[in-house]
Amino acid sequence: MSTMDVRNSQIAGNRLEYGRHYDFLQFVTLAQATAASDERDELLAWLRTHADFGCGDTKVDCGRLSPGCRTCATGGWSCLFINGRCNASCFYCPTSQDDTGDPLTNGIPFASPEDYAEYVARFGFTGASISGGEPLLTLDRTLAYLDAVRRRCGDSVHLWLYTNGTLLTKEIATELRSAGLGEIRFDIGATGYHLAKLQLAVGVIPTVTVEIPAVPEEEGVLRGKLTEMAAVGVQHLNLHQMRLTPHNSRHLASRPYTFVHGESVTVLESELTALRLVRFALEKGIGLPVNYCSFPYKRRFQHAAARRRGIPFVRGSGEEVTQAGYMRAVGGGNVQYFEAVTLPRGIYQHPVVEIALPSGGRIAVEKRPVSQLMPAAASTFASLSEETVFPAELQRFERIAMGLADYF
C-alpha cells in the first residue's frame, strides 16, 4: 500500500471507531502539521545529542528507565487489570471505570491468584504489573495476586503497581512491599499534581515513579514540579502521549486540542509537550529521568511482544519468527504468516494448544493465519539483515515501523 492508501485506511478506521463524535474533532490542517513537524524535528535533533532513543526511535529518553520500563521494552511485561473501578475522574482516562469485575489480562480472566501466577511463569514474563481501575480499592485482592506471583516466580519477576495514590497510607505501602512490590507508579494528575501521598511510598517501596499523560495545558505546572519530584524521592517520570478513545472523546473534544490521525487518534500538542519537557529536564540538569512513551511504541512494540509470547507453544518446524512477532512459513515458492493468540478456553477456529492452570481451568494459544499464501522464493529469506527491503505486501509482517507517527 502507498503512504496515501495507508493514511486513507487509518482515517476510515478512525471515523468508524469514533462514530458521531468524529465530526466534532478538530483535526490538524496541512499548515499546522507542517509547523508541528518542524518543531518536532528541531526538538528531536537536539535530543539526539543529549538523550538516548530506543525501540525504533519511539521512546525518548531511554538512558535511565525504571525497572518496569526496561522490562516492557524487552517484551517481558504482563499487565493485570485487578479491577475496573476507580475513585477518581480524570478527563483523559481511556476507559470507563465502574465495574469491579474479575482480574483480567489480554481478555483472559484470572479469578484465582495462583492461576495468574502460573500464567506469568509458564509464559516466561520477567515483569508483571497490577493496574485498574484503582488497585487500592480492592487491596486484599491486589495483595493476594502480588503474593502469588512472588511465591511462584521468586525474584525473577519484577512487580509494580499503578495507583492514583489517594488511598495510600504508610501501612498499605508496607503491606505492598511485603507482598513483593518493587515499584509503584503514581498518576499525580488525579490529585492536582500534589505529591504528599506519593511521599508515603518513598523509602518503603524500592522504586517510586510518576506516570502521567503529557497534558498540554499543564506543561508550566510540570516544569515547576520536576525539581520538586526529584527532591522528594521520585526516581522516574514517564510521560505518555494522550490518546482519544470512544470513552474520553467527549472530554478531549471540549478542550482546545488538535487531533492527528494514525493507528489511533492522538493529541498533537501532547507529544510536543512531552518532548519539550524531556529537553527542559536535560537542559536544566534536573536529576529526574524523564521518559517519553509514545503511542507508536505502545501500538507497535507492545503488540509485537504480545504476539511473540505464545509462539513457543505453537511454532511449527522450520518456521521463523519475524521482528514484528509473526511466524513465517516458507515452502513451495510461497510464504505465509501466522500469529500466536492467547485466549480463554473456548471455541477455536485454528490449531490450538491448551495450558492447564492450578484451579483446573485452562487457557489456550491459537495459531491463527494472518495472510494468504503469497509468492516468495526461499532465497528472499536466506540472508536477512537490517538493510533487507521486503516487498510491500510482506513488510508489515516482517518489520516494526520505526520512528514517531506522521502528523496528518
Segment 254-264, tens digit of pLDDT: 999 999 999 89
Gap between the Cα atoms of 350 and 66, Å rounded: 39
Average pLDDT over residues 262-283: 97
Share of the chain above pLDDT 70, in %: 100
Q: Are residues 255 and 365 in the same domain?
A: no
Q: How far is CA 186 from CA 54, 196, 238, 280, in A?
A: 24, 11, 10, 21
The domain of 346 spans 311-379
Q: How many CB atoms lie within 10 A of CB 398?
A: 18
- Same domain, yes or no: 289 and 366: no
What is the tens place of the pLDDT at every residue in 212-259?
A: 999 999 999 999 999 999 999 999 999 999 999 999 999 999 999 999
104 plus 201 within the same structural domain: yes
Rounded CA separation 339/310 (Å): 9
Among 339, 322, 303, 328, which residue's Cα sits nearest to residue 378?
328
pLDDT confidence of 6, banded at 50, 70, 90? confident
Q: What is the 3-state secondary structure (H, E, C) of 144-165?
A: HHHHHHHHHHHHHCEEEEEECC
Q: Considering the domain boundaries, does residue 178 fall inside one?
A: yes
Residue type, 338: F
| pLDDT at residue 100, as a whole number | 86
Please indicate, yes or no, whether residues 131 and 193 belong to a single structural domain of this protein. Answer: yes
Domain count across the chain: 2
Q: Is 384 part of any domain?
A: no
> 397 — alpha (psi -120 to 50), left (phi > 0) or beta?
alpha
> What's the whole-number mean pLDDT along residues 304-316?
96
- With respect to residue 395, please indicate whether it lies within any of the assigned structural domains: no
| pLDDT for 279 beyond 80 | yes
- The owner of cell 503474593 is 147
pLDDT range class, residue 382, cuts 50, 70, 90? confident
With the C-alpha atoms ordered 2, 244, 304, 344, is the resulting torsion angle positive or negative? negative
pLDDT of 312 over the 80 cut: yes
Q: Where a domain ends, among 306, 340, 360?
A: 306
Q: Is residue 16 part of a domain?
A: no
Question: pLDDT band at residue 388, thresholds of 50, 70 and 90?
Answer: confident
Q: What is the pLDDT of residue 160?
A: 98
Q: Are residues 252 and 322 in the same domain?
A: no
**Do 257 and 129 belong together in one domain?**
yes
Q: What pLDDT was estimated at residue 151?
A: 98
Does residue 405 fall inside a structural domain?
no
In a domain, 129, yes or no: yes
Higher pLDDT, 23 or 273: 273
Q: What element of type H or E holds 211?
A: strand 207-213
Over pLDDT 90: what percentage of the chain?
A: 88
Single out the residue in 287, 306, 325 at which a domain terminates: 306
Q: Which of 102-111, 140-149, 353-362, 375-384 has the lowest mean pLDDT?
A: 375-384
**139 belongs to a structural domain:** yes
206 confidence band (pLDDT: 50, 70, 90): very high
71 Rama class: left (phi>0) / alpha (psi -120 to 50) / beta: alpha
Whether residues 228 and 193 share a domain: the answer is yes
User: In 18-107, where do the E strands start and end?
Assistant: 53-54, 59-60, 77-81, 84-85, 98-99, 104-105
Q: Are residues 294 and 339 in the same domain?
A: no
Number of residues that this document lists for the chain: 408
C-alpha cell at 300: 507497535
Mean of pLDDT values over 90-109: 92
Domain endpoint, select from 279, 306, 333: 306
Residue 1, in any domain of the structure: no
Residues 368 and 260 in one domain: no
**Is residue 258 located within the same domain as residue 202?**
yes
Give the 3-state secondary structure percentages of the chain, helix then strand then coil, rounded to 5.
Answer: 40, 20, 40
pLDDT band at residue 378, thresholds of 50, 70 and 90?
confident
**Do 43 and 119 share a domain, yes or no?**
yes
Q: Give the mean model confidence (pLDDT) for residues 37-55.
A: 98
What CATH number does the domain containing 222 carry?
Answer: 3.20.20.70
SS3 346: coil
Instruction: Quote the pLDDT of residue 336.
Output: 97
301, 328: one domain: no
